[in-house]
A = this chain, B = another copy of it.
Amino acid sequence: MTKWVYAFGDGGAEGRADMRNLLGGKGANLAEMASLGLPVPPGFTLTTEVCTAYTQSGGTYPADLDAQVEEALAKVEGIIGKKFGDADDPLLVSVRSGARASMPGMMDTVLNLGLNDQTVQGLAKASGDERFAWDSYRRFIQMYGDVVLGVEHHNFEDILADHKDQKGVSLDTELTADDWKKVAAAFVACVEAELGKPFPQDPREQLWGAVSAVFGSWMNDRAITYRKLHGIPEEWGTAVNIQSMVFGNMGETSATGVCFTRNPSTGDNFFYGEYLVNAQGEDVVAGIRTPQPLTKAEHAANGGVGLPSMEEIMPELFGELDQVRARLEAHYKDMQDMEFTVQQGKLWMLQTRNGKRTAKAALKIAVDMTNEGVISREEAIRRIDPAQLDQLLHPMLDPDAPRQVLSRGLPASPGAACGKVVFSAADAESRAAKGEKVILVRVETSPEDIGGMHAAEGILTTRGGMTSHAAVVARGMGRPCVAGAGEIRVDYKAGTFSAMGETIAEGDVITIDGARGEVIRGEVKTIQPELTGDFATLMAWVDEVRQLKVRTNAETPDDAATARKFGAEGIGLCRTEHMFFDPARIINMREMILADTESGRRAALDKLLPYQRSDFVELFTIMRGLPVTVRLLDPPLHEFLPTNDDEMAEVAEAAGADVADVKARAAALHEANPMLGLRGCRLGIMYPEIYEMQCRAIFEAAAEVQKSTGEAVIPEVMIPLVGMKRELDILKEVVDRVAGEVRTASGVDLTYLTGTMIELPRAALTADQIAEPAEFFSFGTNDLTQTTFGLSRDDSGAFLGTYEAKGIFEVDPFVSIDTEGVGELVRIAAERGRKTRKDIKLGICGEHGGDPASVAFCQKVGLDYVSCSPYRVPIARLAAAQAALGAEALIDA
């Protein structure tokens, strides 16, 4: 016989905490608390298997369920000493859903179930409080009518409002027992009018109605969509918890409260919570009364205002609660979030669960508990959400400071920044040069804005998504960024932007909160990040555990230095094209592009060589002793050409060319789909002299740094956008030839690798061939996502929202790697690449390298390293450690 019902209470339980799958989170924890001997109101749980049976049979319960429920109910009646439906002194129960994981859209709670026109009178008599009884009854009708019977809640609110109007009062507390009696009668009449049948008076009918409503809600549209989005199988089902009611609103010896075993905001190991005397949980939520601190210390810290703490008013009960606190934290080995009720001097525990906490608190609690010997270092590592860690790495706005939000956009790059508004990269640079702090505001940004973005404290755009140019570059630079703030209208000509009817002019101060996507008028106080203490301790543990190396994507000395400070173990992606956008250099770059002949191009490249070499010298010096992957020129050449007439004229003059020729060349370079055009290694094949110059700069810089520092940097020359082995064959010859020349000229015994970015499906599929010349693969999952999905990230904004809403994308594939498509190609490429070259070095660069889920995927397919933007290095380190622990757990299991 299947056991469908698990009882708990009276110092014992049939269930346990580890029966979460069967009893749901709430039921399992209630059982566990009861088993620990804690004062839990007795009750029982209908298992998730009942839900499954009910759903699969189309709404029929197992034959023997009724008997098991009756038995459990009788047990509760025995413990409490009251009968369910007893007209003189009724047992009342709550009915609550409780799935394995919390899920929105489910029917949540019905309280006071068991009341009807008769039992309400018994409750009034037994409690000696007629007002309490009728208030409880009308609450039950309202709640049951709404969530079980489907009568819209405004019906009840209207009746109550009318009644108060008639009486000329405004607060519920001003209503008497008699008022509630009338309201309850009106509620019952309303339900009957709405449904065409009377409000159920039979407590058992009420009970089964509530249970069916919970199970039914498992299959409502919102729940189904949510499950689809989060990959939760329908078969999981939800449990239902039926528990005897306790009341915190039975006078001055009753109370209700919520508490945490440690401070969830700071992580300090002090008891923390709030409570209200003579109240129900609902009252706290409704905000009618302001809750008071639990402890004397907290009350004092708040300046001692308001009513005294529970510790002062109910010292014995507080002491009991404090023991429960110690007991539960020791038992669960994590900070607990608990709900309790005191009914006429008796403490009841209604719930416990692991408490939510800030990143700072999470770190402190994990490190403290490890030091206290409660948990292991591995467990401490598992406890920190890598995404949350991001909060700690950037300056953030003081949460207590007032803020006048002008508009909202996407939280594109975390951190807060404040400065004067500028509308062009040039203005950003010139104001910054004068020591002003600026926020660069653009409709969208382009590679030419890089200098201005670097000069700015933060970036705000009105168009583009989480992976727009602005967002990607800002995250890379660690600049806060709010992207795609679509309600803001920028007027470049007027030098203003407007939002919410307000106009902000160039030079006005704004603040942006990149973690929340907020644009705020004026300056808001910020708090600097702290990377020592608990953070440093945990990261040291992380590094002992992880297997994946973590590198950074960086091309400026600033970024490289920041990344090394954050623990980067080399550079995984140095994009050389960003080095050409400097005004002093772009002229030579354009000269090169406009040249008709190889010798013309070589002349211009000769001018670029010293710049590029000195960049590499600086970068290699910072990264000495570590590998640095340099990607040769990748973007289409037209990205370097000007777009307006004035700039065209300027370029023509500088290059000694005709304006018409410059325009013609720019037009000839125009492409229908630049993403799929003449870029990457295709440039190297067409104009080998470009790659030759870049290789020379790399190797000469490596030789110089090796001589000057005595520490070798290991350049890894990366050929982008390879689709066919022969492309790499041809270009590897160029790399090797130049390396040989520099080796001879410098006398330095250079060590280097040549490899490719795997960013085309064809490269992944033919990785066995490409691995013949390639000594490493770096998965460029940004472009690989674009080609695998046939999806331009610049253009996807138009429909990404709809795609997420319709459940087509569970998560933006540019944020977290699509394991089934893009990931499948990574897996295939890793497997085929290793088949040809057993020790081929495999890494991932691009945005995914800093995404924890993607890092876990990289661990799973056995890559050697991930590379991400400097500010995500600690996140990747943590994610890598967790992935390694996850893999270990899998091996252990």
Interface residues of A (CB under 8 A from B): 671-678, 682, 685-686, 721, 723-724, 726-727, 730, 759-762, 765-766, 769, 783, 786-792, 794-796, 798-799, 802-803, 806-809, 818, 820-822, 824-825
Contacts and interface: CB of A to CB of B under 8 A. Distances in A.
Contacts of A803: 685
Contacts of A796: 677
A451 B807 CA distance: 40
A243 to B, nearest CB: 39
Given A676-B795, A766-B820, A799-B682, A761 B788 contact: yes
A821 B766 contact: yes
A724 B821 CA distance: 9
A187 to B, nearest CB: 40
Contacts of A673: 673-676, 792, 794-795
Contacts of A783: 790
A671 B791 CA distance: 11
A408 to B, nearest CB: 21
B761 A787 contact: yes
B672 A723 contact: no
A783 B726 CA distance: 23
10 contacts: A672-B674, A672-B792, A673-B674, A686-B799, A721-B790, A730-B806, A760-B788, A761-B790, A762-B788, A783-B790
Given A672-B792, A677-B796, 5 more contacts: A673-B674, A675-B790, A723-B791, A760-B788, A762-B788
A808 B685 contact: yes
A419 B511 CA distance: 68
A842 to B, nearest CB: 19
Contacts of A682: 799
Nearest to A824: B765
Contact of A672 (B685, B794, B807): B794
Contacts of A788: 760-762, 765, 787
A677 B795 contact: yes
A264 to B, nearest CB: 37
A307 to B, nearest CB: 54
A724 B769 CA distance: 29
A677 B672 CA distance: 12
Contacts of A674: 672-673, 795
A126 B442 CA distance: 96
A786 B678 contact: no
A762 B672 contact: no
A152 B794 CA distance: 58
A855 B765 CA distance: 21
Given A685-B799, A787-B761, A675 B678 contact: no
A795 B723 contact: no
Given A724-B808, A790-B723, A675 B672 contact: yes
Contacts of A730: 806, 808
A489 B799 CA distance: 41
Given A788-B762, A790-B721, A678 B821 contact: no
